[in-house]
Structure 1
Amino acid sequence: MAGQDISIKTDTGESFVGYLSLPASGQGPGVVVIQEIFGVNKVMRDIADTYAAQGYVALCPDLFWRIEPGISITDQTEAEWKQAFDLFQKFDVPAGVKDIQATISHLRKQSACTGKVGAVGFCLGGLLAYLSATRTDSDASVGYYGVGIESKLDEAAKISRPLMLHIAGEDEYCGKEAQAQIHAGLDSHSRVTLHDYPGMNHAFARNGGAHYDSAAATLANKRTGDFFSAHLSA
């Protein structure tokens, strides 16, 4: 089924847009797809469509709406990278997490959503997926190469539902020291699973990106798929 833009309400009554993709059956567990710094672009919509094809009700919220609604850029030009980093610098993380909670709550109320609701995020979204595990009622969360998680490890005690993180060994935005801090802070947590991808750079799972690696992306996506199958069934 083709995806469509829908309206999501915040707890203060404001509204923002999300891209909704439904499975062929029209029903399934929910997955919130959390954007990178390029907005709800084709990459994110394709990911939502992929989850829908796997039987999930996938919803990708526009988390940059407070700065500029409707951002949809690529990673293909220097100008777009500059715009993306500018958006990243302006982004209000706590407000973004609240928008993710609003998106989760929206999915839970939909008749199409038959089971639990999880979250999966990439880059900036990887950090937000971690924070979804500490600050929202997401039933299971997955973060790909999250940026800045090491600065939020004091929240690890709040994780009560399953969390999986994919860590790129040569991530230019999450260096060796940060990776070591993440492992030290989370390895012993009973609800957290960490996977390392030696030799991989940031965004190794971004199809079409400069650091895309098919084998690593396939492995990470399979692990995510198995994780969601285990934790999001009705």
Structure 2
Amino acid sequence: MIIKTEFVDIQTPTGTMRTYIYRPQAEGSYPAIIYYSEIFQQTDPIARSAAIMAGHGFVVLVPEVFHELNPIGTVLGYDDVGKDKGNADKFAKPLESYDSDNQAMVEFLQSQNYCTGKIGAMGVCIGGHLAYRAAINENILAASCLYATDIHSNTLPCGEGQDSLTRTKDIQAELMMIWGKQDPHVPNEGRFLVHQNLIDSGAKFTWHEFNAAHAFMRDEGLDRYDPELALTVYKMSVDLFRRTLCQ
């Protein structure tokens, strides 16, 4: 589908959140995907990824995940400076603030006539964690979580009992967990912990491990990018959302 792009500034309990919208040009109502970025916010690869998903018939929202900590429009570079700043932001923002961000986007989508009100979540890296986290919200029907960091380690700030491992028991959405087995950020032991926790929590999920590095979806920096695998994962994600959001 041909798509169009725009942005909206959504008010959250922790401040204004610039949110980029990708959606079909054709008139009508479409299901939505909240797409959570890496620590670098909306880079060119994230924008292209969101456009791919929108072109399959979805309204895609990309929030600035660290909106409280940066000027509107901040994009960090894929370099040491950007990585250091993004990681600092990651450890500065409590998980509960992402919950309120997510609820604000849900309410925005539910008020738009171009959205059916059926919503999923998708993300890469910390965004994979945030998609997982978003699924705690009862309005999120499915989540595609790609090489989600920091779930296993419980290193992100939050209140007691509010970490994502503990909150897994509250997830009613269907989860699709995608991992690279050569990802140093989520070692074998970490993946095994997340997998067992999903089983113990009675979650509805599928689990997929590939011979791939961290950030294998990112089409910038060819030392990690796996184009064929990326296409496979896009197709898997589209299939998940069509089945769960389009019925």
TM-score, length of structure 2 as denominator length: 0.86
Verify: 1:226 aligned to 2:239, yes or no.
yes
Query: How far 1:155 moved relative to its partner?
Result: 2.0
Residue 15 of structure 1 corresponds to 16
Residue 25 of structure 1 corresponds to 26
* Equivalent in 68, 71, 84 of residue 74 of structure 2: 71
Residue 212 of structure 1 corresponds to 225
User: 2:198 corresponds to which letter in structure 1?
Assistant: L
1:1-234 to 2 correspondence within 5 Å?
Answer: 1-10=3-12, 12=13, 14-26=15-27, 27-69=29-71, 70-75=73-78, 77-135=79-137, 137-150=139-152, 151=154, 152-187=164-199, 189-197=202-210, 199-209=211-221, 210-234=223-247
Length, aligned pairs only = 231
**CA offsets 1:68-112 (integer angstroms, 9 cap, x no match):** 13221232x222222222222223322022202211221121001
Query: How far 1:13 moved relative to its partner?
Result: 8.7
On the 8 A contact 1:173/1:202 being kept in 2, the answer is: yes
User: 1:18 corresponds to which letter in structure 2?
Assistant: T
Query: How far 1:25 moved relative to its partner?
Result: 1.4
**1:84 alignment partner, SS class:** helix
**CA offsets 1:132-175 (integer angstroms, 9 cap, x no match):** 11245211111100012223322222121211110111111111
**1:29 alignment partner, SS class:** strand
CA distance in 2, matches of 1:13, 1:184: 34
Structure 1: 5+ residue stretches without partners: none
**CA offsets 1:30-82 (integer angstroms, 9 cap, x no match):** 1111111001222222222112211111111112110013221232x222222
CA distance in 1, matches of 2:77, 2:4: 21
Query: How far 1:190 moved relative to its partner?
Result: 4.8
Identity fraction in percent: 26
Structure 2: 5+ residue stretches without partners: 155-163
Across the aligned residues of Structure 1 and Structure 2, the Cα RMSD in angstroms comes to: 1.9
CA distance in 1, matches of 2:189, 2:181: 11
TM-score, length of structure 1 as denominator length: 0.91
**1:228 alignment partner, SS class:** helix
CA distance in 1, matches of 2:74, 2:58: 24
